[in-house]
Amino acid sequence: MISAFVASYGYFVVFFGTLLEGETILLAAGFAAHRDLLDWRLVVLIAVIGATLGDQLAFLLGRWKGQALIQRFPALERRTRQVHTLLERYDSLFILTVRFIYGLRIAGPVILGSSKISFLRFTTLNVTGAILWAGLIAGIGYGLGHGINFLGVELKTIEEIVLVVILTSGLIFWLSQHMKKPIRDNSDTKTGI
């Protein structure tokens, strides 16, 4: 059942999953590629396209409305300071690896768009970073499937369980991070005492 779904819709899921965040989707797609449900090269190519497009759109949003967004969201404002500090020291390395840094996957390109980084420079480093990221994450998923085979486990009997566990774990993690209520910082408020 899941195998048929992955074979039918897997590439669409990889594209839309990597457009936003996508590590769990890409890990599962790499695993599915090991099972010959998807073509690993096509998974990586689609992930590169999705990840690059998502970050390019976030960068352009930052270029267009970056300061307004940063001022509107306190968490983004805190991350802006971190990003600018990292950019001063390691600009190329930071742009290459921003998608690997939890919490900056989407915010990072928005903040970068509000900086003085040129569009062409960002695009070049963004594409390179997407290639590294897609190959690594899909490769880990592929390696997971290979590792299970190496252990001598009959994969056909557990492949659907493994795919469900990967996707469910990713969904639970994503929900736990995105559904948290923001913690208010009352240190700046006057108590009147």
The model's pLDDT over 171-191, given as tens digits with 9 standing for 90+, comes to 787 677 666 655 444 444 444
Q: Domain range spanning residue 62?
A: 2-180
Q: 12: closest CA among 25, 31, 30?
A: 25
Residue 18 covered by a domain: yes
Taking residues 68-75, report their average pLDDT: 77
Q: What percent of the chain has pLDDT over 90?
A: 24
Higher pLDDT, 136 or 170: 136
Residue 190 covered by a domain: no
Residue 93 covered by a domain: yes
Task: Give pLDDT tens digits for 27-61.
Answer: 888 988 888 889 999 999 999 999 999 999 999 99
* Count of the separate structural domains present in the chain: 1
Residue 193 covered by a domain: no
The type of residue at 65 is: K
pLDDT of residue 138: 93
Residue 74 covered by a domain: yes
Taking residues 84-110, report their average pLDDT: 82
Taking residues 141-169, report their average pLDDT: 71
The DSSP line for 79-147 is HHHHHHHHHHHHHHHHHHHGGGSTT-TTHHHHHHHTTT--HHHHHHHHHHHHHHHHHHHHHHHHHHHHH
* Average pLDDT of the chain, as a whole number: 80
Could you tell me the two tokens for 97?
């690896």
What confidence category does residue 158 fall into, taking pLDDT thresholds of 50, 70 and 90? low
pTM: 0.73
Residue 187 covered by a domain: no
Residue 50 covered by a domain: yes
